[in-house]
Amino acid sequence: MADIITSPHISGHADHHDVDYLHDGKGLKSWLTTVDHKRIGIMYLWAILFMFFLGGVFAMMIRLELLTPKQTIMSAETYNKVFTLHGAIMVFLFIIPSVPAALANFVLPLMLGAKDVAFPKLNLFSWYIYMVGALIAITAMVTGGVDTGWTFYTPYSTTTDGSVALMTFAVFVLGFSSILTGVNFVATIHKLRAPGMGWFDMPLFCWGIYATALIQVLATPVLAITLLLLLMERTFGIGIFDPKLGGDPVLFQHFFWFYSHPAVYIMILPGMAIISEIIPTFSQKTIFGYRAIAFSSVAIALVSFIVWGHHMFTSGQSQLASAIFSFITFFVAVPSAIKTFNWIVTMYKGSVAFNAPMLYALSFLLLFGIGGLTGIFLGAVSVDIHLHDTYFVVAHFHYVMMGSTVIAFLGGLHYWWPKMFGRMYSESAARVACALVFIGFNATFLPQFVLGSRGMPRRYYNYLPEFQFLHQASTVGSWILGLGFLIMAGYLFASLRKKMDAPANPWHSRTLEWQTSSPPITHNFHEVPSVGGGPYDYYRPMGQGRND
Amino acid sequence: MSHSTHDVAEHRFRQHHFATAEQQLDTSKIGMWLFLATEILMFGGLFVGFGLMQGVYPEAWVAGHHHLDRVLGAVNTVFLLCSSFTMVMAVHYASTDEKSKTVLNLGLTLGFAFAFLVVKYFEYSHKFHDGLLPGRFFNLADIGGPPQQAMFFGFYFAMTGIHGFHVLIGIILITWIMIRANRGDFSSAYYTPVDLIGLYWHLVDLIWIYLFPLLYLVS
């Protein structure tokens, strides 16, 4: 894949077309009206990082409140609002757009050798929709807040006070942003691959994003209609979800999880996609089982649509339905395990470099292993009856969403940071931060598995005295985690103040985004790249394709 | 149509990130079909909820549908079917460089769309007057019958309301391409917007084809 002719640096005689995308146009207006996928990706990045910060502050407040039983820093009512806002922000405003809208927006067209995404104006439009949704969500927070949990279960959500209607509307709006991003990426991958790049010549990141985009397109509309019905229920009392009026609250759960279970894979598939890039690059070795990894992404996307009932084992759905959902849930483990084993084998006999992105990838393997395997516990009906709604569930999905997706996102952020901003960050500081995040994360959430299996229910503001030690261990873990993020923010911002020093290809990768300058020029490549080999042809000397 | 006009049209409307006009057209079509898939899934959620609740409260559904005017519903079905035909003709004439016929057929499509909304307006105002409103606003005391008719009318207004909103969006889009067609933006070399908005309009029609029997012809 490496036979592209690009000038390594932007030299002094650069004309307009040679200017890097960060300097092609000055001022706020040039950003707010851009249709360049790279700039839109960066605008998404700052927006979601701000949301991550906000959701993180709420998380620290939750952990601080749980330092002691009964009231520590806030009332029970405030606690309900804080954990709801933590969940809603992290899910709808951070994780779902994190990798696709921010990172993939930047690198996907570069990886495909394209000049832009299929619909650049639609791309900018979806950013504006996201910002409007975020503003509505923030308005909902400051005008009454929401105490329903991020799942908005009826009939509580149709009867409680607060800004539930506004928050639901915000999520409805954010859904359109997600749908448009998905439509854009599917069309881009189908039609904008560089000449000579077949489906199996794409980097595996693109396969992961493709599977994600399909779910975004096919699942999100169902959430939209569910939230619309919820809004009607609140305003008109139409009774579809209200047992008092003859409706069925379990129907809401079916509708909600028909979206929100696939949405779990909107979160994890892009994380897996990043790992499939980092591991071969830092092992300098061809990925093992390319097609198996590619197809397992699509398999996960398909299976994701038929497992939603495993969130509802205790809802009163039929036992037969529970048994079937349980069985199909186990099936998700197969493609996930295929990926994991292929990543591990890729490292075998490779020349492994332990740079920060690779440290995150290795953390991912361990944490995803724990998160995935505890998911099997919860997928088994009899075990789930015991563990349902306990801290075991909280720990499980944090191992998947944070331990896997966020860790992979951070790996990707460190991996592509030099490409995005043209600057290297302090490697030693990055390793320290990664270690702190890893230790802090495990210190926070490992005790929660124990708490949950001993019967500590989730979403409770108070607890029995015998749970105090484990809760305190978890809270101390959250401080270590917070310190890791502080250090990370420090060295990343510090790197932005330096002059541009990143080489075009600091990690000696073979995929196309590294074959153009760092940061890339506005049109991405000086010439349309011609693709001669696979994206992971590390057995060939650098700069030689299949046809050389 | 001379070859050079083709090239001019291609040059004018091809965006820089596409290599050829054909690639741009294919990409636009993929995008539109994906969007239509999201529409079907969104209405699909409504259909599933409607069907489930019909299974639980069949008497309420039958009683509720007696309050709907199936003649007006049928008239509206005919309007939309005709509008789909004129839309097909508009796309056809756009592809054969017949500008005035394109504009005429788009105008007719607009006319049918407005007629649909006018009928819908009379239906709605009649329902409002009779107290046939969704949920807690349903006037059960005067109307009588099973109380779950309130839920039936919840679905009725949700489904026809969202569909009507799509008709409204369609009117805006068709007006936009009619202005562009009249300006001479389209030729056999480039008429993608007409093509794509045609697809959208057919979906709006198709959804009504399902809504009409589901709501008006229950028994």
What are the DSSP calls for A131-170, one per residue?
A: HHHHHHHHHHHHTT---STTTT-TTHHHHS-SSHHHHHHH
Amino acid sitting at position A288: F
B205 is in which domain, residue-wise? 23-216
Token digits for A44? 């998404």
Q: Are B33 and A187 in contact (CB under 8 A)?
A: no
Residue A436: HSE in the Cβ half-sphere, 13 Å Cα cutoff: 18
Q: Could you please report the per-residue DSSP string of A4-19?
A: ----SS--TT--GGGS
Q: How far apart are CA A525 and CA A192, in angstroms?
A: 14
Rounded Cα gap, residues A153 and A192, in angstroms: 41
Residue A522's closest chain B neighbor by CA?
B17
> Quick one: pLDDT at residue A54?
97
Q: Is the peptide bond before A120 cis (omega within 30 degrees of 0)?
A: no
CB atoms within 10 A of CB A539: 9
pLDDT at residue number A280: 97
> Mean pLDDT, to the nearest integer, of A439-462?
97
Among B94, B74, B6, B107, smallest CA distance to B217 is for: B74
| Nearest-CA distance A84 → chain B (Å) | 26
- Looking at residues A513-523, what average pLDDT do you find? 94
The span from the first CA to the last CA of chain A, in angstroms, equals 11
Angle at alpha carbon of residue A1, lines to A119 and A41, rounded to 5°: 30
Asked if B158 lies within 8 A of A190 by C-beta distance, the reply is no
Measured at the CA of A228, the angle between CA A263 and CA A248, to 5 degrees, comes to 85
Q: Which of A235, A62, A245, A253 is nearest to A151 (CA)?
A: A253
Listed in sequence order, the residues at least 6 apart from A448 whose beta carbon sits closer than 8 Å to its beta carbon are A391, A392, A394, A395, A398, A470, A474
Model confidence at A523, in pLDDT bands (50, 70, 90)?
very high
Mean pLDDT of the residues in chain A: 93
Q: Which residues pair with A390 in a beta bridge?
A: A457
Give, for A482, the enclosing helix (H) or strand (E).
helix A468-497
Residues 6 or more apart in contact with residue A372 via CB below 8 angstroms: A333, A336, A337, A340, A400
Position B172 in a domain: yes
The one-character DSSP state at A362 is H
How would residue A529 be classed by pLDDT, with cut points 50, 70 and 90? confident
Pick the residue from chain B with its C-alpha nearest to A176: B38
Q: What is the mean pLDDT of residues A21-30?
A: 92
Chain A residues whose beta carbon lies within 8 Å of the beta carbon of residue B45? 221-222, 225-226, 229, 255
Question: Does B3 reside within a domain?
Answer: no
In a domain? residue B16: no
Nearest partner of A194 among A544, A532, A546, judged by Cα = A532
As given in the structure block, the two tokens for residue B103 are: 């504009």
Residue in chain B lying closest to A185 (CA): B31
B162 contact residues in A (CB cutoff 8 A): 228
Residues of A engaging B, defined by a Cβ cutoff of 8 Å: 114-116, 118-120, 122, 179, 182-184, 186-187, 190-192, 195, 217-222, 224-226, 228-229, 232-233, 236-240, 245-248, 251, 255, 523, 528
* Residue A348 within any structural domain of the chain: yes
Please provide the DSSP assignment of A247-303 as one string: --HHHHHHHHHHHHHHHHHHHHHHHHHHHHHHHHHHHTSPPS-HHHHHHHHHHHHHH
Residue A117: CB partners within 8 Å, gap ≥ 6?
A37, A105, A108, A109, A123, A184, A185, A188, A192
Closest by Cα among B63, B68, B54, B84 to B120: B68
Closest Cα in chain B, distance from residue A67 (Å): 43
Place of tokens 């011609």: A530
d(CA A111, CA A240): 47
pLDDT digits (tens, 9 = 90+) for A135-184: 999 999 999 899 999 999 998 999 898 899 999 999 999 999 999 999 99
Mutation test of the interface with chain A: which of B16, B26, B28, B42, choosing the one with the most A Cβ atoms within 10 A?
B42
Say if the Cβ atoms of B42 and A225 lie within 8 Å: yes
Contact A251 B34 (CB under 8 A): no
- Rounded to a whole number of angstroms, the distance from the CA of A102 to the nearest CA of chain B is 20
Q: Which residue has the tokens 């029609």?
A: B205
Tokens describing residue A442 = 């495990």
Which of A187, A237, A251 lies nearest to residue B31, judging by beta carbons? A187
Q: Where does chain B have alpha helices with state H? A: 3-13, 21-56, 58-65, 70-95, 99-130, 140-143, 149-183, 192-216
- Other beta carbons within 10 angstroms of residue A12's beta carbon come to 5
Maximum C-alpha span of chain A: 75
Asked if the structure places residue A468 within a domain, the reply is yes
Q: How many CB atoms lie within 10 A of CB A299?
A: 18
pLDDT digits (tens, 9 = 90+) for A118-129: 999 999 999 999
Closest CB to B135 among A179, A220, A237: A237
pLDDT at A350 over 90: yes
Domain count, chain B: 1
Query: What ipTM was assigned to the predicted interfaces of this complex?
Result: 0.91
Q: What is the CATH number of the domain that holds B53?
A: 1.20.120.80
Count of residues in chain B: 219
- Do the domain assignments include residue A466? yes
CA distance B139 to B128: 10
Contact (CB<8Å) A238/B53: no
**Interchain proximity A183–B35, CB inside 8 Å:** yes
> What is the per-residue DSSP string for A320-333?
HHHHHHHHHHHHHH
Within a domain: B15: no
Q: Find, in chain A, the residue whose alpha carbon is nearest to that of B154.
A: A238
How many angstroms separate the CA atoms of A326 and A332, rounded? 10
Distance from CA of A170 to the nearest CA of B (A): 17
Out of B16, B45, B153, closest to residue A255 by CB = B45
Give the closest-approach CA distance of A219 to chain B in angstroms. 8
Q: Cis omega (within 30 of 0) on the bond before A519?
A: yes
> CA–CA separation, A18 vs B94, rounded Å?
40
What would the two tokens of residue A343 be? Answer: 């990543």
Cβ atoms of A196 and B33 closer than 8 Å? no
Q: Do A240 and B155 touch (CB under 8 A)?
A: yes
**Closest chain B CA to residue A221:** B42
Chain A closest-CA separation from residue B97 CA (Å): 27
Mutation for B interface: A36, A124, A225, most B CBs within 10 A: A225
CA distances from B107 to A111, A465, B102, B186 (A): 45, 75, 9, 16
Of B30, B44, B45, the CB nearest to A187: B30
CATH number of the domain residue A329 falls in: 1.20.210.10
Answer whether B34 sits within 8 Å of A183, measured CB to CB: yes
What's the whole-number mean pLDDT along residues A63-81? 95
Q: Is A523 in Cβ contact with B27 (below 8 Å)?
A: no
Distance CA(A192)–CA(B27), nearest Å, equals 8
* Closest residue of chain A to B155, computed from CA coordinates: A238
Subunit contact B27:A218, Cβ cutoff 8 A: no
- Please judge whether A186 and B30 are an interchain contact, meaning their C-beta atoms are less than 8 angstroms apart: yes
Average pLDDT, integer, range A321-350: 95
Using left for φ > 0, alpha for ψ between -120 and 50, and beta otherwise, residue A316 falls in left
Instruction: Answer whether A240's CB lies under 8 Å from A233's CB.
Output: yes
State in Å, rounded, how far the first CA of chain B is from the last one. Answer: 55
Location of structure tokens 């030729």: B187
Q: How far apart are CA A40 and CA A102, in angstroms?
A: 8
Cα(A305)–Cα(A326) distance, rounded to whole angstroms?
Answer: 13
Rounded Cα gap, residues B117 and B101, in angstroms = 24
User: What pLDDT is attached to residue A543?
Assistant: 60
Q: What is the pLDDT of residue B140?
A: 87
Q: What is the pTM of this model?
A: 0.93
Domain, as residue range, for A467: 36-515
- Total count of domains within chain A: 1
Query: Does residue A13 form part of some domain?
Result: no
Q: Is residue B68 part of a domain?
A: yes
Of A276, A261, A258, residue with least CA distance to A209: A276
Asked if residues A208 and A276 have their Cβ atoms less than 8 Å apart, the reply is yes
Q: Does residue B135 lie in a domain region?
A: yes
Nearest chain B CA: its distance from A190 CA (Å): 8
Tell me the pLDDT band of A217, cut-offs 50, 70 and 90.
Answer: very high
A522 touches A36 (CB < 8 A) = yes
Q: A175: closest CA among A221, A215, A135?
A: A221
Residues of chain B with pLDDT under 70: 1-11, 219
Rounded CA separation A145/A158 (Å): 14
